[in-house]
Structure 1
Amino acid sequence: MRNMNNMMKQAQKLQKKMLETQQELATKTVEASAGGGMVKVVANGGQKIESIVLEKEIIDPEDVEMLQDLILAAVNDALKKSQDMVSSEMSKLTGGMNIPGL
């Protein structure tokens, strides 16, 4: 019974630390770009896009599809970097154990 109590305490500590880490990660950002830096996207650790910056030179009314593709590429890259950042920080807490939902 004593071991069970210790396990529960450790689980509660881990849960608290994970929550703190998630809150901290929500304030950290990553940046991705496409088109040689003409499209820049910033995402946070909460997997939210914080900003999209387009250089004037990339805006061509005759080629909207290219701009859409560059924005999509930069957004997807920013979200991937954000997910990688979160995974890296969480694996530090869990010792590399794969816990569903993280």
Structure 2
Amino acid sequence: MAKGRFPGMGNMGNMMKQMQKMQKQMEEIQKQLEEAEVEASVGGGAVVAKANGKKEILSITIDESVVDPEDVEMLQDLVLAAVNEALRNAEEMMAKEMGKLTGGMNIPGLF
């Protein structure tokens, strides 16, 4: 054994370089995904919600045919359903793209 060397330290340094590279790639992907948009449509297109990868709602479009003062509750339900679906789509988009990088490993606190 070489004097002053620890077995396996070369592997540890290589692993650290790989982790740093992976972290940089994750940051780049997260930045791209934050700008990406997804949408969800409910009620046959009556309400459409768009969200980004930050899970922020960007817009809500409501077809005027579903605006009925006598049935506000239905419109509220449609909006709620569209928003929740758009947020789920944003979450799935993030998980799918990060999964490509991590090889499907579930890394707590990743996103």
User: Which residue of structure 1 lines up, in the alignment, with residue 26 of structure 2?
Assistant: 18
> Given the two structures, how large is their TM-score scaled by the length of structure 2?
0.89
Distance 1:59 1:45 in 2: 29
The percent of aligned pairs where both chains have the same amino acid is: 61
Distance 1:32 1:49 in 2: 11
Distance 1:32 1:101 in 2: 26
> Given the two structures, how large is their TM-score scaled by the length of structure 1?
0.96
User: Which residue of structure 2 lines up, in the alignment, with residue 38 of structure 1?
Assistant: 46
User: How many residues are matched?
Assistant: 102
Larger radius of gyration: 2
Q: Return 5+ residue gaps in structure 2 as ranges.
A: 1-8
Q: Return 5+ residue gaps in structure 1 as ranges.
A: none
Runs in 1 of length 4+ with deviation above 2 angstroms? none
1:34, distance to aligned residue in structure 2 (A): 1.0
Distance 1:59 1:12 in 2: 52
